[in-house]
Structure 1
Amino acid sequence: NDPEATSRTIDKEGWLHTGDIGYIDDDDELFIVDRLKELIKYKGFQVAPAELEALLLAHPEISDAAVVGMKDEDAGEVPVAFVMKSEKSQATEDEIKQYISKQ
């Protein structure tokens, strides 16, 4: 819990600043259409969200994925993945993390 780091990422209105460009349509559905920046800077390394997304999408029980960077005081940024599991998926969050760590 770091209120200062949180305040840099989530504004006073509750918006999470991810560096993505999107819109909400008339049905209140959110669409992410582009990125303001293409790299996540994690502990001095540059990580491409698209590469992590490709790894996630190679998992047989994941139907869609998006990865964004979230500011982190120690690491600079950390990748955060939003995953849509396939309809009959039984995969857990920990199983998906283990899958990615082995790639």
Structure 2
Amino acid sequence: MKGDEKATAETLDSDGWLRTGDICYFDSQGFLYVVDRLKELIKYKAYQVPPVELEHLHLSRPEIIDAPVIPYVPGRISRADPMAYAMRNPGSSITETQVATYKKVRRVAFINSIPKSPSRKILRKELVDRALSAVL
């Protein structure tokens, strides 16, 4: 079976580098860190907000067990608001985490479990579908 030449052309650049869609950086010692996926960036006004940054802020709070961030777009055409689904520790009454204006989560919904794949990857699509179905 012949490969998909169009998909290969979209994945490899002219120098033969593989475009993975990952957002990475090298530290001063030359270690590579994968921090997010390009397709998961939330476009808020003129900014691109990586969900992982907001997730790390939430997870730095001892009251939060898990807090995936998704784009929330009810009735909007041109922008998405960052929304977090947060799992609180039992007995916690935390309501929000403050961050820079354009990186602020605009909506939080508390949930008892976060949908994840067998490899523990957060299933953001399921959370987006859940958020949209709550609006309809």
Tell me the TM-score normalised to structure 1 length: 0.52
SS at match of 2:55: helix
Q: Which one of 65, 89, 93 corresponds to residue 92 of structure 2?
A: 89
Corresponding residue of 1:38: 40
Deviation readout 1:55-82 (Å, 9 max, x if unpaired): 0001121111110002262761111100
State the structure with more CA Rg: 2
Tell me, yes or no, if structure 1 residue 65 matches structure 2 residue 62: no
Q: Which one of 99, 110, 115 corresponds to residue 101 of structure 1?
A: 99
SS at match of 1:101: coil
Deviation readout 1:22-67 (Å, 9 max, x if unpaired): xxxxxxxxxxxxx782200001100000110000001121111110
Are the equivalent residues in 2 in contact too, given 1:38–1:49 (CA < 8 A)?
yes
Identical columns (%): 42
Q: Determine which structure has greater relative contact order: mean sequence separation of CA pairs < 8 Å that are 6+ residues apart, divided by chain length.
A: 1
What stretches of structure 1 of length at least 5 have no aligned partner? 1-34
> How many pairs were matched up?
64
Q: Which has the higher strand share?
A: 1
Tell me the TM-score normalised to structure 2 length: 0.41
Instruction: Note the aligned Cα RMSD (angstroms).
Output: 2.5
**Using the alignment, how far apart are the partners of 1:58 and 1:67 within structure 2?**
14
